[in-house]
Chain A
Amino acid sequence: MLMLFWLAVLAGFNSWAQSRVVSGTVLDSTSGETLIGVTVTIKGTQQASSTDLNGKFSVSIPVNNSALVFSYVGYDPQTVIVKGETNLTVKLQSASQGLNEIVVIGYGAVKKKDLTGSVAQVNMGDLNKAPVVSFDDALGGRVAGVQVTSTEGQPGVGSAIVIRGGNSLTQDNSPLYVIDGFPIEGEANNLINPAEIASMEILKDASATAIYGARGANGVIIITTKRGKVGDPRINYNAYYGFQSITNKIPVMNPYEFVKLQTEIDPLGADTIYLKGKTLEDYRNVAGINWQDQLFRRAPMSSHNLSMSGGNAKTKYSISGSLQDQQGIIIASGYKRYQGVVSLDQDVNDKLRVGINVRYTNSRQYGTPTSAGSGTQGLLYSAWAYRPIAVNLDNLLDQLYDPSTPTLDLRINPVLTANNELRNNIVNSMIANGYAEYAITKDLKLKITGGYNNNQLRNEIFNNSKTYSGGPQAKNGPNGAIYNYQTTTWLNENTLNYIKDINKDHHIDLLAGITAQGAKLLSNGVKAVQLPNESLGLSGLDEGTPFSVLSSTSSWTLLSGLARANYAYKSKYLFTASFRADGSSRFSPENEWSYFPSTAFAWRFTEEGFMKKLGFLSDGKLRLSWGITGNNRVSDYATYSSFFFDPNGGYPFNGTVQKGAYINTLGNQDLKWETTAQTDIGLDIGFLNQRISVVADYYDKTTSNLLLNAQLPNSSGFDDAYKNIGKVSNSGFEFSLTTVNITGKKFGWTTSFNISFNRNKVLALAENQNVLLSPVTWFGSYTSAAYIAQIGQSASNMYGYLYDGVYQYSDFDKLSNGTYQLKANVPNNGNDRTTIKPGTAKYKDINNDGVVDANDQTVIGNALPKHIGGFSNNFTYKNFDLNVFFQWSYGNDIINANRYLLENGGNKPAVNQFASYSDRWSPTNQSSTIPAAGSYNSGPLVYSSRVIEDGSYLRLKTVQLGYNFSSKLLSAIKVKSLRVYASAQNLYTWTKYSGYDPEVSDRNSALTPGFDFSAYPRARTIILGLNINL
């Protein structure tokens, strides 16, 4: 690195030829504002200058050279021929609607107007108005065709991003991330501070993604981070501070309703616990304990970004550091991240440019996950269900167990749990990239890149004596564990790029390359129990009894060759063809290589003579593309059958445990890539000099030879194995509209809108298989399937019984002894007929056989939305700017599993219920469809449409109001710009969903989306910030 600095210094000693001085001012063509830091280059040389705080520049130009190039990020570059003038006024046009804007694509970049594939640019200016720690929290609704499913609201928990619908059924559907050229498989959302992102492109169609071959089928997100630019050093400090709070609490029964319920379900217990010397009416005005109030808090959130960047024509640098500290709205939870980045670009000589970029991240996510574990361990479940009143001498808030519950019911105080369980996920990550770019000729460039990514996750768990697993009722005493997961990835890419214009009519851009990437994965850890000194925390792990040891390693390698040709004729007819060959170590030698072609054609019909008359049309392009991409998301050694040393698989001969092992996975030597063929038809059209622009796409994807963790008949000795079998299709329509509504000196208004429709359909499953049922693990008794993927239907349908209200008196014959007997012609509900009383839950007897049983299950909901979208408006008035962003999802259902346990009269004593359960059926409230209290009244423990809710929502997601101090004021104090702002995230949501938040999927997978059990709610965030440039 030192050497590069020396080179930079040397570059300064350039001798100047005979010259004259030209000066001037650079302005924004729309607003007339002066532009600071515009690079002014003398064409054909390396000599450059930049505009000062007042937008002024001064440059000596050789007498014989008379062209200046003005370039500025976010604006179209402009070349000005200097004739005799000595004072110029140059107006640059903002590139945001410009057709000459550069769009980053795989292994290259093209002008927007020359794009043949479907590539969406994320408006980072808008996105960065959201006060979020990682970009995925703000990405939803911004780009057509991109569905961001946030599983829950815990700080630091990532979102699942699915582009144009999920292809895989059992495997990961997340896109490939390419960060500064480094492909990263799997979630990378937290690795980058969103403020560091210069541009984000989302590659959607096969013509765009096929260059990533075997990893392109899920779409690709290309992230380019900020680097230094020519100009004086710029110091930027951007900070905000604010608070998060819960948007809504779920009302639970008050003490009166609670005690009333106890008297109904457990009269004896209620008499001795609650009604000793008291009456039910005495509880009318008792405040009780609201456990949600105990668990939730107003949580501060802060962010600091400090950067310095600059450079001259040959050397550009950027250094930045950031700190994000987001405390969770649940006590003792949060996320904190430190990040430092250094980048340097250096022109060594006319032919050679080198650069590096090093990013180091340290983050800690902490706090008890609310939805993990099963059933009654769920933290929020405990908060809702915990007894709302202390009676007699109980001090419920300080007691680990509820003294009124049976000794074997380990219901745990949620506040003590949250405060005492240590759950840390600590990530240390370093990504280093370097490149060298060599111009072999003027048109032919060689680029060699190398990268190294080391990601270390340390998972720390400690349970002291005030927790579920370390408490006095658990045998193993205080316990703890440390697990380390390390992934080291290396990359080498070598590309040749030939760009040539022939006779102005023919534009040729050829690319060829060879790349290699590999990774080593290592995990290890240890758990110890019965720690004698819990005050030592994890440091005392060595004093305990070793319990279990984890250790594993694996690795993969990917070798690839790639090629692409772009050809444009008069910028009118555009052709692209690409090809990639990928060889993966994950497959056996016969199947390790596979080939991914794509082709695209675009016609810019506005370039045709006959269209030129239509002056209102500023752009019109029809795009057509087809290609094949792959998915390699399978374990590193899936082709091998493994001998599993099952900790519980031994056998205690003669009282001594003989370790046992057996083949637990059936390897598949024939495994190969999952392939997706995608066709895309798109239309880009712009009106009134691009004040209105529209992008519309229709796509059709068919994924075949699915890498399916296919079910096997158990007579094979295995449950499942990886196979290339099954077929899924996704087709859809995307529409984006961007308009510049008003441009004026004082007032400006721009709008962008997008909507996307995707239809997912299962075309084939494993041999003989018509239906793939998926259970969800959340509460022990619910073992049946909650989801169904059926041939001909969506992969994510909800499955169960149709709820049919409750049995009414008219369904019964009253017997002489006063009891009610179900009429013979009325079907049961899956339980024995004698258990059914007026007020008992009723399910539809679909097949009309008089009995409700497994054959009466059907599709009861669809987790996939009919359409999703977003709507963003930017207003400027004088120095004020306002951004208002809405996001929606329409037509998706959610399984609100909380209601199975909390609108359930059959529950155990001392379990509180949602307030909605006060409206349960009773002889005096016969119109209610909520089952009556009492042990059998909720019917069998099955999935039913009773708790399936419409998950549609419209959310006022981000609002930001900013004020820019005028540069005239600031120049006096040597400040280039100063902006103060207030932002709000998740400000208001319109939804019918009764849970905390409709954006939820805490058992998320392609087969089981939209499930809510005890999910960490999303916070409303309001912050104040400032952004200052020096």
Chain B
Amino acid sequence: MLAGVSCKKILSNTPTDFVTQVNYFNSESEVNIALAGVYDPLQRNEMYGKALHMDLTMCDEGFYRLSSLNTGPLVYNYDATDITILQYWTALYDGINRANIFLENVDRATMDATNKNVAKGEVLFLRAYYYFLLVRDFGAVPLKLSSTKSVGEVNIARTPIKDVYAQILQDMTTAEGMVRTWTSWGYPGHVTKTAIEAILARVCLTMASKPLQDVSKYQDALNWAKKVVDSKEHSLNPDYKQIFINIAQDKYDVQYKESMWEVEFFGNRVGTSFDETGGVGRYLGPTCTDIPTGYCYGNIHVTSKIINMYANNDVNDVRRDWNIAPYKYTGSVKTLFAATNVYDRTGAKFYREYETLLPRDQFSTPQNWPVIRYAEVLLIYAEAENELNGPTAIAHQYLNMVRARAKTFQYTGAKLITDKSIFRQAVMDERARELAFEGARKYDLIRTGTLVAEMKAMSAIVRLAPSTAYPQAVRPGDLASDRNLLLPIPSRELSLNSAMTQNPGW
């Protein structure tokens, strides 16, 4: 009965249920689908959905609200088995592998050559960006520039920090010449030319600082920042609050374009199984348990340390009562805090009450995450200029631009700074005030070598006026040590990859 039927034919079996890489990347729409897949990890909880403004960016800005939580990066008590760190590591390498597959296959697609080049540029940049996050948080990491093809590729050694950075610079620089501008897209969801320049400025500034301390990169940081400024595409939104109100309302700031690159989130999970929502506003906002008003944990409570950074500089700073919520909700009613009440105040920034997409979901929000704003570019410019040439007029000019928008005094006339190190500190403090709760502060403290000292300083400040409701406020500072300058390599990776080594202290 079987005679005459070739065994080969009977046993050949190509998948009927999914497409494989071999038969994909044919058309522009398939390329766009794969492109979305490379962006997708940015949205995960372990990245900009949550961890990159919560768990992994905890520093002297505040402390976690619940004393019952005893372990995890939120409370500076964690080890290499921590699940958030593993998931963060996993998300980054997922993104890298997807980018590698994209870059290896995209060339065979039949599509508009310009669009193809743009998509390639975006993916090349995203891969480099994922590596930037890796090298900044984990130090030397395996540098994979091609996709995993065999289940046997398990022992992958770490590449030295400077080599990882060299690849990041090379890829980002290449990508910068390939992608479209913000204006051309009309929104900041795609990576754009000036966004890459701004991130390159951030990368170069990080390289010039600790631990690499390649001071030659200050010039590059300045050059990239200057390129952004010279493009004249971006300016500061005159109203600081409006930047974040726009985000809550799903509006792009097409007038000023201050928000240069946003990780996009969307929807309220009503009537669809697609979930593109995130956690921006779920944690950083006024505490609220009323769902229609905008549920928010208010997870990070502040200490006088951050409050004083505003108060001791200029009490008129409009940013303080935006970045630190002066009220919470009792049900749907706003309850203002007493002026003396410090510890009940929460790190805010993303106010769900402004959301216009209704009904509001309890936990998930449509708010985008601003990865980099023009204000930071100006501050990088000022910092690099100061490092290279001292507190020059141009350094002052950019610092003052950011301050003017915040309605604070200008460093002019009698307040002009002549000392390089004082100017350096002024920029750092300005960054703390301007970029509070935007996931920047911890990395600023690491690159200036002050993380542990500032964490201890926060504990000391708390001990001066201890809180009975929040005894745990002293713990993160007490527990912080030099090993926190890098995250531990996840123990899962260590146990399965024999070429991997652990970071110091873990």
Contact = CB atoms under 8 A, between A and B. Distances in A.
Contacts of A717: 93-94, 96-98, 100, 144, 147-148
Contacts of A667: 20
A668 B151 contact: yes
Contacts of A835: 67-68, 70
A589 B20 CA distance: 18
B368 to A, nearest CB: 9
Interface stretch (A188-196, A719-727, A790-798): A719-727
Given A554-B16, A714-B492, A716-B154, A657 B274 contact: yes
Interface string A734-778: 000000000000000000000000000000001111110000000
Interface string B38-67: 111001000000000000000000000001
Contacts, number: 249
Interface stretch (B193-201, B262-270, B381-389): B262-270
A663 B495 contact: no
Given A585-B11, A940-B70, A559 B2 contact: yes
Contacts of B495: 768-771
Contacts of B460: none
Interface stretch (B28-36, B172-180, B204-212, B402-410): B28-36
B39 A660 contact: yes
Contact of B24 (A545, A643, A649): A643
A909 to B, nearest CB: 15
Interface stretch (B83-91, B221-229, B420-428, B434-442): B83-91
Interface in A604-626: none
B36 A640 contact: no
Nearest to A854: B81
A530 B8 CA distance: 50
Nearest to B44: A648
Contact of B90 (A583, A719, A771): A719
B33 A659 contact: yes
A768 B498 contact: yes
Contacts of B271: 476, 529-530, 545, 547
A658 B205 CA distance: 34
Interface in A926-952: 935-936, 940
A719 B90 CA distance: 8
A834 B70 CA distance: 11
A649 B496 contact: no
B285 interface: no
A940 B362 CA distance: 27
A556 B2 contact: no
Contact of A768 (B7, B12, B32, B497): B497
Interface string A525-540: 0010110000000000
B230 interface: no
A553 B16 contact: yes
B153 A716 contact: yes
A527 B276 CA distance: 19
A543 interface: no
A670 B152 CA distance: 10
A715 B495 CA distance: 12
B490 interface: yes
Interface in B144-163: 144, 147-148, 150-156
Contacts of B11: 557, 559, 583-585, 589, 592
B151 A666 contact: yes
Nearest to A448: B1
B385 to A, nearest CB: 35
A715 B90 CA distance: 7
A944 B368 CA distance: 41
B250 A641 contact: no
A644 B471 CA distance: 47
Interface string A813-840: 0000000000000000011101100000
B464 interface: no
Contacts of B361: 475
Nearest to A785: B81
B12 A650 contact: no
Contacts of B156: 713, 715-716
Contact of A721 (B97, B151, B264): B151
A492 interface: yes
A647 B276 CA distance: 9
B496 A712 contact: yes
B13 interface: yes
Contacts of B67: 832, 835
A585 B1 contact: no
Interface in B465-497: 471-472, 475, 490, 492-493, 495-497
Contact of B269 (A475, A494, A658): A475
Contacts of A935: 68
B70 to A, nearest CB: 5
A552 B16 CA distance: 8
A455 B20 CA distance: 29
B273 interface: yes
Interface in B351-395: 359, 361-362
A988 interface: no
* A contact residues, range: 35 or more
Nearest to B185: A654
Nearest to A711: B496
B338 interface: no
A17 interface: no
A642 interface: yes
B10 interface: yes
Contacts of B112: none
B187 A713 contact: no
A642 B18 contact: yes
Contact of A650 (B68, B276, B497): B276
Given A583-B7, A637-B13, A713 B33 contact: no
Contacts of B93: 714-717
A492 B1 CA distance: 9
Interface string A541-565: 0000101100011111101000000
A782 to B, nearest CB: 12
Nearest to B43: A651
A830 B79 CA distance: 13
A710 interface: yes
A713 B15 contact: no
Nearest to A771: B495
Interface in A558-607: 559, 583-586, 589, 592
B25 to A, nearest CB: 10
Contact of B83 (A547, A643, A714, A783): A783
B190 interface: yes
Residue among A637, A711, A834, A935 with max Cβ neighbours from chain B (10 Å): A637
A990 interface: no
A647 B266 CA distance: 14
B457 interface: no
Given A660-B36, A768-B498, A547 B13 contact: no
A718 interface: yes
A5 interface: no
B89 A714 contact: yes
A657 B266 contact: yes
B273 A547 contact: yes
A514 interface: yes
18 contacts: A554-B16, A554-B17, A586-B13, A637-B15, A640-B15, A641-B20, A643-B20, A648-B274, A652-B264, A657-B266, A660-B40, A662-B38, A714-B90, A714-B492, A723-B151, A768-B154, A768-B155, A832-B70
Given A712-B148, A854-B79, 7 more contacts: A547-B273, A557-B11, A589-B12, A663-B147, A769-B496, A771-B495, A940-B70
Interface of B: 1-2, 7-8, 10-21, 24, 32-40, 43, 67-68, 70-71, 79, 81, 83, 86, 89-90, 93-94, 96-98, 100-101, 141-142, 144, 147-148, 150-156, 185-187, 189-190, 250, 252, 264-267, 269-276, 289, 359, 361-362, 471-472, 475, 490, 492-493, 495-498, 500
Closest 9 A/B residue pairs (Cβ): A717-B97, A660-B36, A652-B266, A585-B13, A662-B37, A713-B497, A548-B273, A642-B18, A651-B36
